[in-house]
Amino acid sequence: MSQAATSSPPAAAPAPDAGGTVFAVILAISFCHLLNDMMQSLLPAIYPSLKASLRLSFGQIGLITLAYQITASILQPLVGLYADKRPTPLALPGGTLFSLAGLVVLSVAHSYGLLLVGASLLGVGSSVFHPESSRVARMAAGGRHGLAQSLFQVGGNAGSALGPLAAAVFVVRYGQTSLAFFALLALLSCAILWNVGTWYRHHGLARLTAGAGKRTAAALPPGRARWALAILLALIFSKYVYLASLTSYFTFYLIHKFGVSVQAAQVRLFVFLAAVAVGTVAGGPVGDRFGRKSVIWASILGVLPLTLLLPHASLFWTGPLTVAIGLLLASAFPAIVVFAQELAPGKVGMISGLFFGFSFGMGGLGAAVLGRVADVAGIDTVYRLCAFLPAIGLLAAFLPDLRRGALAKVTEA
């Protein structure tokens, strides 16, 4: 069937399809990204009630998080690699069934073993969703890959921000069993993704194949591509560990250093998360226009002086500094993901899974390590140490230039 699509009679049909950005598809997966990440963020919301009702230790709570993170992060590149070799459009709606099952199990779990099963199922749902949805974003991009990634990722940012709000309104009030209500959102996501999967099968694969064909002739040598991917992963490490310091401990820092109320600290955290969402939306289109490497450099050079200033800033200046940090750090991620996809033509799923899984894992690991640092040396020390993390981004100097002329020179060399 795909051979027929590449023959001369239907050649006129794919051309207009391949040239345009399919916003309906991108917005659909962005909305499903919102639902997915909101459902994932409900797990920590039930920790206090689980600890009290089942008399769990902090170590056991940590193992629940570990079970979720292993399935949610480590499986992602494996799912993406499989999808690259054997595209499975129905994996998108199918993956949401794991999230649905995980929420249902968690809503009725009254033993520690069932909690681990529910957390693992929730993680599997996320591991299927992210690489496949990122592939769809590239399929529907119509050449505007940065914009597509930005719109896709901002849905996840919104979902992560809405999760704690939903937990405060429903889970805290109605308890663990209220998670079953949120399982209905998984059914809504499944219905939307079924339609996306239909588009994926009939149109998306042809668009992705056509785009990969255009890039293959200008690919980097394998060794240089692997080196560039390692640099990009180092950038992800620095950015997500620093973001973890703010998303997990910023309220504690404000309360400890400036004596603000819990409510005031939460408002400032919300403003920071809003800046992250805006930066995510802006980073992709700017990368499309001025180049991915330029956005990465702007993020590095712009954010490093700000992170160095933050531990010494007054309460007044802490707000503008964290907003600027959120904008700049978040703007780089869509550019990094698209840059990595262009380094490995034909491996969009594996690359997407690797980078989403790595960013998720580094965020969780970073939060755990920084929490230990805060216990031992104090919360102020966390921000003094993390201030230097963006300096790792100077490795971007060794990233290749992916413009066609530059690639041709590299290939000839």
Domain 219-413 sits in CATH at: 1.20.1250.20
Q: How far apart are CA 350 and CA 341, in angstroms?
A: 9
pTM above 0.85, yes or no: no
CA distance 203 to 24: 13
Q: Fold match between 1-216 and 219-413?
A: yes
Looking at the domain 1-216, which fold is it? Growth Hormone; Chain: A; (1.20.1250)
CA distance readout (Å), 226 to 82, 174, 219: 20, 49, 12
Q: What is the pLDDT of residue 219?
A: 62
- Secondary structure letter of residue 201 according to DSSP: I
Is residue 195 within 8 A of residue 92, CB to CB? The reply is no
Please give the pLDDT value at position 311. Answer: 95
Segments making up each domain of the chain, as ranges:
1-216, 219-413
pLDDT tens, the chain, 413 aa long: 434 444 434 333 333 344 588 889 999 999 999 999 888 878 877 777 777 788 877 678 778 877 887 888 888 888 888 888 888 888 889 889 999 999 999 988 888 899 999 999 998 998 889 888 888 888 888 878 888 888 888 888 888 778 777 777 787 778 788 888 888 889 999 999 999 988 988 876 776 666 554 544 446 788 888 999 999 999 999 988 898 888 778 888 898 899 988 778 878 888 888 888 888 888 878 877 877 888 888 887 789 999 999 999 999 999 999 999 999 988 888 888 888 888 888 788 888 888 888 887 887 788 778 888 888 888 899 899 999 999 998 898 898 877 554 444 444 44
Q: How far apart are the first and last CA of the chain?
A: 39
Q: How far is it, in rounded angstroms, from Cα 268 to Cα 323?
A: 9
Q: Quick one: pLDDT at residue 347?
A: 83
Return d(Cα 413, Cα 401) in angstroms, integer.
14
Q: What DSSP line would sit under 148-161, residue for residue?
A: HHHHHHHHHHHHHH
Burial of 244: CB neighbours in 10 Å, binned 0-12, 13-18, 19+: buried
